[in-house]
Amino acid sequence: DAGVIQSPRHEVTEMGQEVTLRCKPISGHDYLFWYRQTMMRGLELLIYFNNNVPIDDSGMPEDRFSAKMPNASFSTLKIQPSEPRDSAVYFCASRPGTGGSNQPQHFGDGTRLSIL
């Protein structure tokens, strides 16, 4: 079975540029989560969706960050304009809707973002 697929795996861009990270969840999973991982702050939940609807975006750091899920098989996390402090590894995860919160989340391999 295909897991969670993220693209690109690595992104290097200059400050001020727009960055778009992409995620394809596991087919049939109703929940999708975006995380950011840094040495200083560890693993932070940015936003999550249920059935393509954003449920909680309280972890989104600022208005420069936005996320969309236009359909059940695709989500994007966009940063515009990007800043060096946005450099981190961004993970997407998904999990089934049935079974409740005891269902584990399945993670993609992440996008390593470097803003110069």
Interface positions with another protein (CB under 8 A): 4, 31, 33, 42-43, 45, 48, 50, 55-56, 91, 93, 100-102, 104-110, 112
Least gap, CB of 80 to another protein (angstroms): 25
Residue 27's nearest CA partner among 92, 76, 75, 73 is 73
Based on CB atoms, which residue is closest to another protein, 81 or 104?
A: 104
In the complex with another protein, the residue whose CB is nearer, 38 or 80, is: 38
Closest separation between CB of residue 34 and another protein, Å? Answer: 12
| Shortest Å distance, C-beta 63 to another protein | 22
Q: What is the C-alpha separation between 23 and 34, in angstroms, rounded? A: 9
* Cα four-point dihedral sign 104, 35, 69, 14: negative
88-95 and 111-115 beta bridge pairing: antiparallel
Q: How far is the CB of 31 from another protein (least distance, A)?
A: 6
Side-chain half-sphere of 34: how many Cα atoms within 13 Å?
A: 33
